[in-house]
Structure formats: C-alpha cells, structure tokens
Chains A and B, each alone.
Chain A
Amino acid sequence: MQQLINGITLGTIYGLIAVGYTMVYGIVGMINFAHGDIFMVGSFLSLIALLGLAALGVTSVPLALALTLIFAAGLAALYGWTVERIAYRPLRGSFRLAPLISAIGMSIVLQNFVQVGQGARVKPMDALIPGGIELMNQGGFAVQLSWMQIAIVATTLLVLAVFTWLVTATPLGRSMRACEQDIRMAGLLGIDTDRTIGLTFVIGAALAAVAGLLFLLYYGVIDFFIGFLAGVKAFTAAVLGGIGSLPGAVLGGLLIGLIEVFWSAYFSVAYKDVAAFAILILVLIFRPSGIMGRAEVEKV
C-alpha cells in the first residue's frame, strides 16, 4: 500500500516528462534526447528560484511554490525553444541520424553547461512541506501519505488538465494534432509548421520543468546528472504507453514508477535501473507500438 502511494508519486513525475517525449516524437518523429536534460535544467531553475525567493523574504510556501513553478516553467520553455531552434530546425530534411546525433550533442552541452555554471556537487534542499496523514495502522506498519505526495499528485493533475485543454480546445492544439497526423498536408493547409513544432518543444519543456520542480521537492537532492536516468526512464514510459499517445505517456509513467518502487522494495535496490532498461528492451522487442499506440507500417 505504501509502495503503491510512492510508486504513483514517482510515476506522475515520469509521466510529465514522458508527455514531452511522446509529443515531439508524434510530430517530428525524432527522439528528443536532450529532454531529460531540460528536466534537469528545470530542476535547477526551481532550486534557484526557491533560494532567490527565500532571500527576497517570501515566506508563504504556496506563494513561493507557485512563483517558482511559473519561473521555472517559463525559462525551461525558453531553453526548449532555443534547443529546437539551434539544434533541430536546421536539420529538418537531413539524413535520419542527424537530428539524433545533434540531440545527443545538445544533451551533453546542457549537462556540462550546468556543471560548469553551478558546480558538480549535489545540491541538497530542506523539505518544504513536512508532515502528512496516516491512512491506516496495522500492527506497527503505518501507511503514510505525506502532504508532499498529495501536493505532487495534485500539481500534476492540474498541469495535465491545463495541458489537455490546450491540446483539445485551442487553435494551437488543433494545429499540433494536424501536424501529428500529416505534417506536409498540415503545411499545405496553411499551418505554420515550424511555429507549431517550436511551440510543441516549448510546452514539452515547460512540463518537464514542472516535473523537475516536483522531483526537487520529492527527493530534496539534485545534481547535473539526474536528467540522464530520468530521461531514459521517461522515454521507457513513453514507449511503454505507445509513443505518440498522450494518455499512453501518463499511463506508462505511472507503470514505470510503480514497477521501479515495487522492484526496489521486493527485489533489489541496486538493480532498479536495470529493471527500467530491461522493460524498455522487452517492450521494444515484443510490442513496439506500446499499450495505447497504433502499429506503424513502414512504406517505401
């Protein structure tokens, strides 16, 4: 039960990152390798914002969190846009490995940029929202639901609700879905595809930054390398849920979070990352289209 709660909390964070992967893949058809590092940048931006707000004398925790959320999401979105503009846009129509290699380069750049700018040591932070409620207590085994976990899940739901509204009910969402179905046709019908792709990266990066803030709150420790593992796991989540499918990404995130937590609890903590990688390989071999994806026929 406790593991279930922990797994869902972790899963929502992965789900938020996975949405960014799946959106970009759906539209451009490439793996945005630097997405995990945007998440890491978002996490650092959040920590800086929290420290800055504390220095400015903002003591109310909800207010500080809200401001941090906006600050981190906004600036990470700027990072997402810049990455797309510099590293991916000039490569549209190039040979198929080019954007991927460029993305790996961008990922290395972001990691080392943060390492140079902020130092290689881990950054610890005190828990902002202490305490919690005890759901049940059976013979000494207490099931804890901390306020932090409630806050994380609630924030995720809120952000995803806004995001769903954005995709289903706005002109931007409509052009995004059009680009996903057929980018050339969308272009012919008068949709500015470059702008749409740019905005897709912006939204994905903002979601990743929210995930970064939640990660920071949940673990209280970040360093410049967190993006790599979180990125691979979120990508696994996106593939597991069916790449290109937005609800699939969230579902995949939850599953990966649950699997990781249960694996650590019942098998071995040391091999928990291997579990995530193994799932990725197994899914790709046996069901490449994922749970909610549709099979893709490759045509000449």
Chain B
Amino acid sequence: MTAALRDALLSAAVALGLFAPLVGLAMDNGDQGLVLRTRPLAAGIMVALVFFGRLGMHLWVARPGREARAVRRSIAVPKAASKYIAPALLIAAVLLPLSGSRYYVDLATLVLTYIMLGWGLNIVVGLAGLLDLGYVAFYAVGAYSYALLAETFGLGFWTCLPLAGILAAFAGVLLGFPVLRLRGDYLAIVTLAFGEIVRVVLINWVDFTHGPNGITDIPRPTLFGLRFSNDEGSDTVAAFFGIEAQTIHRVVFLYYLILALALLTNWVTLRLRRLPLGRAWEALREDEIACRSLGIDVTKTKLTAFATGALFGGFAGAFFATRQAFISPESFTFIESATVLAIVVLGGLGSQLGVALAALVMVGGLEMLRDLLSTIGEHMGSELFSGLAGDLPTYRMLIFGLALVAMMVMRPRGLVSGRTATATLGRQDA
C-alpha cells in the first residue's frame, strides 16, 4: 500500500512536470502578439487523473491472478462470436437503407470507405507484413485518376474505375521497386516520404492537378447509363422507372456501390489467402530470410502485395472522388494514412472482421458520439455538451494515437486476432 502510494505520488510529480507548462499555461494569439493565460484547474485535473489512475492500477489491476483471467476471457469471446458477427453485420449492412434515414446511410458510406481502405491496407500490412505509412498516396492516385480522366476525356465512372485501380497499382509497383531491399522500419519511412511526395506534387503541379484549389464538378456514377438527377431529361433513373426524383436515390445507390466494392475487396483477399501467393505473403511476414531460403521469389511477392493493396486503394479513391464530386490535396494528408493504419492495427493486423469492427467503432462510433452529444446539448441548453461535441474532432486523433499505443502495449495481436497462419502443419495453437 505504501509502495503503491509512493509510486502514484511519483507519477503525479512527473505528470505535473509534463502538464504544468503545456496545459496549465495557454498561449493565446492576442492583438499584440502572444498572451499567456493560466489554467491551473485543467492541469490539476490531469495530474489528479494520473495520480488516481496509477493508484487504481496498483490496487486493483496488479492483483495476482487477475491478469491471466482477463486475457483468457478476451480471447474466448471473439472466437465463439465471430462466426455469428460477420453474417449479422452483412445483413445489417444490406438492410440499412430501408431505414430511410439519409444520416445513417451517409455515415455508413463513410464507414464503408474506411473499411475498404482498411482491407486494402490489410493486404500490405496485415498479410505481407510490410508497414506502409503512405497508403493515402494510392487513394489520392485513384481519386485524381478518375477526376482527371473524367475532366479531360469525358469518360464515365464505370470506365474510369478499373483504370483508376490499375493506375494506383502501377504507383504501387513504382513505390515497390526501390524499397524491395529495405527492412521494416526503413520501409515505413520511405513509404511515408512517398506519400508526402505525392501530396506535394499534387499541390504544386498546378497546370495538371489545379493545385490546392482541387478539382470540382466530378461526374456522378450512372446506373447502366441512367443518371441520378432532378432535371427533366429522359435518361435519368427517375424517368426510366417512372418514380419521383429524389436525392436519396443517389445516396442509397452510392451506398450499395461502396458496399459492393468493399465486399469485392474482402472476397478477393480471402481467395488470395488460399492461393500460393497469399501463403507466400504470410510466410514473408513471419520470416523473410526463411522465406527466401525456401525458394519463394521475395521480389515478386512484395511487389504483388503492394500492387494489390494499391489497386483497392485506387478503387476507394475513385469512389471518394465521385461521392464528394470535389477533391483537393487537403483530403490526402498523412493523417488519413495514420487513420487507416490505426484501423488495421486495432483490427488485429490480418483479421478481416477486426478491420470492419475497428472502422465501425473508430469512424462511425466517434461520429455518432459527437452527434449524440450535440443533440443532448441542444435539448438541455447546456454549454458543456455542445462544447464537448465541438471539441470531439480535435480529440479524435488524440484518441487514435492513444489507442495505437495502448493496443501495442496490451494486445499487440489485435482485438480479433487473425495473425495465425492460414496453413500450418499439425495442431494449431492460437
């Protein structure tokens, strides 16, 4: 007890050092330069949190026997439930537009975009074990491919979708070639640099990409040549089916489109995992040297992983462009790469279901929490809730970062562990 108390006090002292200047003192941009403002309460709360958190950790968590039980429980639950969760999620996803709520369909479209990106990145990071910090580059290549092809040659969405994917895959191979020789952490930095190069080029090559202004009026996708539009043309969906034109039709159509694309990604990944290529990816992840000794072509294996991951990133990018109808380099920052990576890591590096759940919680959950808080704030007329809702996007990345660290420290194999090899000899220990 005394030891716990002393340790907690020590932690609190460290926390005081950490938080006193950066939380306790705030710099405000005043009229005449910066003004210091003191916030003793905020710093005090943080320090107190650390103190009691540390004390609580000693008194409850560290009790013998407790940890072992907790670990066993958390592994057992996903094993049994995952058989039912995936079909249930799928049914829910297919039926969702029947609710008729535009808000939920829009939100689900966003979540599905991240699920698709997560599954795409999962091929590179989760299966092949190549840490890619510049995944957003492929997303950007896909989005700009579609936007520029549509603008320059007037091509439609369905022609451009494969083209965008192929161009992104080319970008993947382009990145893959020079980095073949690099080990894990160097590779991560180079892919990061690649992502930044793509973004800087998009900003500065004004003649080609319109620079920071972005591209506007990107055409919407059509349903077998029928447009989703409110105008009086004969080639609109509404005119063809003889129904009243509504914006929600297009929203629902886009939703099913991304659902189909995401399911395609999932299906291809699952099939690839059973091919020799997929097995080679997993072998590469576990041990590159052993892999090479066994006669696996490491070059080919790495390049296909990059290309396949990039392909789906490109599809997702083209979808993003057509949904937003506007893209600019702003949308393709490192933060996006980090978000997708966080989703893949939280999902458990290699688990398809885990990625879907992580995206649902991290993107959809936070978005809904914000709306919930602002609704409560409006109803109660309380400043506190509205303020919290407004701050939530700022805290979102903070939560992401903390989750990444916590995940690595506590369960490095992910929430739903899927890192077990698909093919093993003999009995398999999870």
Contact = CB atoms under 8 A, between A and B. Distances in A.
Task: State the 7 A-B residue pairs at the shortest beta-carbon distance, nearest first.
Answer: A105-B404, A108-B401, A109-B401, A277-B193, A102-B408, A112-B398, A105-B405
A63 interface: no
Interface in A228-246: 228, 232, 235, 239
Given A31-B185, A101-B341, A79 B18 contact: yes
A277 B179 CA distance: 13
B39 to A, nearest CB: 9
A132 interface: no
A31 B189 contact: yes
A118 B36 contact: no
B412 A98 contact: yes
26 contacts: A30-B185, A45-B22, A52-B25, A75-B17, A75-B21, A78-B14, A91-B409, A91-B412, A96-B184, A96-B185, A101-B408, A102-B404, A104-B338, A105-B408, A113-B22, A117-B22, A118-B26, A232-B193, A235-B189, A270-B204, A280-B190, A281-B178, A281-B194, A284-B182, A284-B190, A298-B183
A183 interface: no
Size bracket, chain A contacts = 35 or more
Contacts of A47: 27, 34
B29 A121 contact: yes
Interface string A97-131: 11111101111111111111111010111100000
A219 B200 CA distance: 22
Interface in A8-67: 30-31, 41, 44-45, 47-49, 51-52, 55
B131 interface: yes
A138 interface: no
B61 interface: no
Interface of B: 14, 17-18, 21-23, 25-29, 33-34, 36, 129, 131, 133, 178-179, 181-186, 188-190, 192-194, 196-197, 200-201, 203-204, 289-290, 334, 338, 341-342, 345, 391, 394-395, 397-398, 400-405, 407-409, 412
Interface stretch (A82-90, A158-166, A189-197, A248-256): A82-90
Given A82-B18, A281-B190, A116 B394 contact: yes
A112 B335 CA distance: 11
B33 A126 contact: yes
A270 B188 CA distance: 24
Interface in A241-300: 268, 270-271, 273-274, 277-278, 280-281, 284-285, 288, 298, 300
Contacts of A52: 25, 36
Interface string A149-192: 00000000000000000000000000000000000000000000
Given A102-B404, A119-B27, A94 B412 contact: yes
A92 B185 CA distance: 15
Contacts, number: 173
Given A101-B404, A118-B26, 4 more contacts: A97-B131, A105-B404, A273-B196, A277-B196
A141 interface: no
Contacts of B29: 119, 121, 123-124
B237 to A, nearest CB: 43
A288 B189 contact: no
B403 A100 contact: no
A271 B201 CA distance: 8
A275 to B, nearest CB: 10
A273 B200 CA distance: 8
Nearest to B175: A281
Contact of B412 (A48, A95, A268, A280): A95
B47 to A, nearest CB: 13
A97 B129 contact: yes
Contact of B398 (A95, A109, A268, A271): A109
A52 B14 CA distance: 21
Residue in A75, A239, A284, A300 with the greatest tally of chain B CB atoms within 10 Å: A284
A112 B395 CA distance: 7
Contacts of A31: 185, 188-189
B398 A113 contact: yes
A271 B289 contact: no
B401 A105 contact: yes
Contact of B33 (A121, A124, A285): A124
Contacts of A97: 129, 131, 184
A202 B27 CA distance: 26
B368 to A, nearest CB: 21
A108 B340 CA distance: 13
Contacts of B133: 104
A228 B263 CA distance: 35
A274 B197 contact: yes
B189 A87 contact: no
Given A91-B412, A285-B181, A48 B404 contact: no
Nearest to A269: B204
B405 A106 contact: yes
Given A45-B22, A288-B186, A108 B397 contact: yes
